[in-house]
Structure 1
């Protein structure tokens, strides 16, 4: 018998039962559902709504159910629709009618809102931990390879020389902001909805602050309609997750390019690649490609929930059952992606000589020639034109800028003297850019050290608990 069957005369159509049920995916909330129910039972007893004896029976029964689920002994039923009714039904089987008292002063509407917040709060901490791990990998690789110089690109064309470490730290900075976005999102997740009932609260004299304290929520929702009808905190998380995946996808695209024979900047370990069923020579960068592909999957979950929520009147509507599958899949995808990216980067060889050799082509020191002219009193726009003509000459005659004779330099401008050769060596071009945030060795090392200390400090903060 269904827990809501009193109003109904006809049996539920079997296909409707399957279509209506969410137990196939919301079983993942079992731990959070039980955690919330235990806190609710304690509050009911504290407020003399149930007896201490009833409370103890309920909690003992819930703890037994938790053990059964974790040991694989619990049988979930589609007929019971969702995780809440499955657990409550089993609780009543175990302890009798006392189990029915647990649902006093609450609804499945505020119960599921609580479960999702507890789940998401936990998952945000785990994702933040993985973000820190990946940041640490990037910073360590930057420190280890501080002397590798490579071309920086715009429009996928060689632009100016930089250090590989500078490139790696660029992604670390993106992940740092991703971490901060989740930190901000966490504050809006960490609000207790329980006590809002179906939509209009409850007449029972409950203590919501007590429940918030038991479950370590920072605050209590201030409007019962809003508390049960909103999933903007899930949308916010999915948006932050999409941004993280976008950053990982961009990096994956570069790793794919760098591993190609056309670039040959890196060698990804065989453990993170696969071969071809027909071409024996192939070594395919499947993990970066999958990360790039799974980004669209996460974007899709964000768009799905935005679309689901856009036309719903207050308060709860069954459409909102569609808030979970995409969320669960996003969390699983994001966590696996972050962990794989960290492992893969730790097993990637960066080819110093190939990267450096690539800076010798493409006139990546042309801007430094222009800067040289500016240092000698030439307006930048005039200097730009002079260097453009020098590049055009070199391009036509298959020369590098450093291979021009002094006489040839002086044909473009009499400002040039023999010190031009020292000014445009690749190492000097990089290390001359020592302003804050620049690619000079001392500046990059300073940033790496500062960021490593920050990541370590965040990892040891109280928010992490056992995560």
Structure 2
């Protein structure tokens, strides 16, 4: 049987494009379409482009369709192109095309769809930002409780210097806050309304773009009407911010995987996050780190997919940035939000393994930098000389398998005299103190350092910065909720009773 390619839609086009697209429209953007229709009705009425009776009939019909037509169970059957035409058909059947047709005055599916995309993306960015805020709040609380929890920090994969868990988490907090700012900046650009742009060049009708933006909860309009339907930087900026956060948090998760492993054992993972082996009775597998690493990696890859999809596309209204791309991008949020939630719970639960940390600091001579620093202060020699003496002591300690705290003062004097040619001034008590990790941390009082007072000052800043972003997030939700109520109320007030 010959296929008919002259009647729209061709079967293969329906199967591969229109039917899947309808499922996305119906499942993701239906409520946004309803919101835009209500806002359009109110705006046209205010501008005198609908009579009082017309506005009343359209508003009543829109609410009737929303409440009584089961869009969720609809399947694409080729009798309409997309959900927009389904709703248009339902309205015309209820109140007649003479009135229902006026709803589309001065607008296009172009500005409508880009408005829907921004509405959903805005909602998802706000939600994602809230998960970031929960993470930053938990990290700040954890750091505040960990001011005296000593850990061993690494450079180039090797033991380096002791610090505190609070100090390490402070570095993570700063990155999370910067990522939140990037997401917030992207959200600021998403939060602009394309309505009124029409197909490309606005309209000769006296529309009120500002009112449409207000009724849909946007902070303002996209200024240029062509940019409103052609620009995709609001998409690329959003997914770039998400991708960066996934990369940064993935590095943190990789540290957690290393620190909770048997060889390092710097952090203890409670049983609630540990899976066992089906054959090896001794195994404790802290697999949440693997799942988080996977989720962040998949989310980063998904974000990059959306960004790359925009590459080399025309600067115009094109399907490349529309429903299929938008809904594919939403999977990034789903994965990332799960990972953020799990990360918050996991970090809150883990505890410093003090015995393991102490042993590794001793074995690695991680406090010996303070010996060199103390020689500069006590012996009045330069740091390069002090470094050379400390290096000799480190080699001897490693060779003789003696931790720095057990290295004798007499041996120190011998190495000092061999390099400097005179007896040291440092007292035995001062020499003994340099091997103490607590002392190592306490003397590092500079801004940004690990000492208690320095960390407390940093944590105050982190808390203030995180709260500022929380306030921004709250204002978005508040404005959107107010717009939802205003739109519903003003649309219902159009009813002629």
Superposed pair shares fold, TM > 0.5: yes
1:381 to 378, 381, 384: 384
Q: Which residue of 1 aligns with 2:32?
A: 32
Q: Distance in 2 between matches of 1:373 and 1:88?
A: 83
- Aligned Cα root-mean-square deviation (Å): 2.5
Residue of structure 1 in register with 2:143 after alignment: 142
Tell whether the 8 Å contact from 1:248 to 1:291 is kept in structure 2 after alignment: no
Deviations 1:246-300 (A, max 9, x none): 1221121122112211122233344434344444443333322122122332232
Q: Does 1:448 align with 2:447?
A: no
* Structure 2 match to 1:5: none
**Secondary structure of 1:465's aligned partner:** helix
Q: 1:57 to 1:357 in 2, by over 3 A?
A: farther
Cross-structure match for 2:102: 101
Normalised by the size of structure 2, how large is the TM-score? 0.85
Does the CA contact (< 8 Å) of 2:247 and 2:300 recur in 1? Answer: no
Q: Could you say if the C-alpha distance between residues 220 and 337 of structure 1 is closer, same or farther in structure 2, counting changes exceeding 3 Å?
A: same
Which of 413, 417, 422 does residue 427 from structure 2 map onto? 417
Matching of residue 224 in structure 1 with residue 225 in structure 2? yes
Which region of structure 1 is more displaced relative to structure 2, 347-356 or 307-316?
A: 347-356
Preserved CA contact (<8 Å) 1:150 1:164: yes
Counterpart in the other structure of 1:459: 470
Runs of 5+ unmatched residues, structure 2: 417-422, 482-497
Shift of 1:438: 0.4
- Displacement of 1:82: 4.2
Cα gap change, 1:188 to 1:395, in 2 (>3 Å) = same
Equivalences for 1:80-95 in 2 at 5 Å?
A: 80-95=80-95
- Seen in structure 2, the aligned counterparts of structure 1 residues 267 and 85 have a Cα distance that, compared at 3 Å, is farther
Residues in 1 aligned to 2:8 and 2:367: alpha-carbon distance in whole angstroms: 78
Classify the secondary structure of the residue corresponding to 2:154. Answer: strand
Asked if the contact 1:136/1:452 (under 8 Å) is kept, the reply is: yes
Contact 1:68 1:74 in 2 (8 A): no
Q: Within 2, Cα distance between the matches of 1:273 and 1:185?
A: 37
- Per mean C-alpha deviation after superposition, the further-off stretch among 201-210 and 295-304 is 295-304
Cα distance in 2 for partners of 1:424, 1:78 equals: 77
SS for the counterpart of 1:161 is strand
- TM-score, normalization by structure 1: 0.90
**Alignment of 1:13 onto 2:24:** no
CA shift at 1:119, angstroms?
Answer: 1.4
Which segment drifts farther, 14-23 or 155-164?
14-23
TM-superposed deviation, 1:328: 0.7
Q: What do the CA deviations read for 1:384-435 (whole angstroms, capped 9, x no partner)?
A: 2221121111111111122221111112214343212123311000111111
Which residue pairs with 2:489 in the alignment?
A: none
Q: In the TM superposition, what is the alpha-carbon distance from 1:163 to its structure 2 partner?
A: 0.5
Residue of structure 2 equivalent to 1:288:
289
Question: What secondary structure sits across from 2:314 in the alignment?
Answer: coil
Between Structure 1 and Structure 2, whose CA radius of gyration is higher? 2
Structure 1 position 199, deviation (Å): 1.9
Which consecutive residues of structure 1, in runs of 5 or more, have no partner in the other structure?
1-7
What aligned pairs does 1:198-237 form with structure 2 within 5 A after superposition? Answer: 198-237=199-238
Q: Distance in 2 between matches of 1:287 and 1:267?
A: 13
Contact 1:188 1:233 in 2 (8 A): yes
Q: 1:366 aligns with which of 362, 365, 368?
A: 368
Mapping 1:63-462, distance limit 5 Å? 63-67=63-67, 74-77=73-76, 79=78, 80-97=80-97, 98-321=99-322, 322-375=324-377, 376-413=379-416, 414-415=423-424, 416-418=426-428, 419-456=430-467, 458-460=469-471, 462=474
- Choose 186-195 or 440-449, whichever is displaced more: 440-449
Q: Number of residues paired by the alignment? A: 459
431-440 vs 177-186, greater mean Cα deviation: 177-186
Cα 1:394–1:289 change in 2 (3 A) is same
The CA distance in 1 between the partners of 2:175 and 2:408, in whole Å, is 43
Paired residues of 1:29 and 1:83 also in contact (CA < 8 A): no
Q: Counterparts of 1:72 and 1:285 in 2: how far apart (Å)?
A: 44
Give the number of the structure with larger relative contact order, counting CA–CA contacts within 8 Å between residues 6 or more apart: 2
> Distance in 1 between the 2:372 and 2:189 partners?
51
Q: Distance in 2 between matches of 1:25 and 1:283?
A: 42
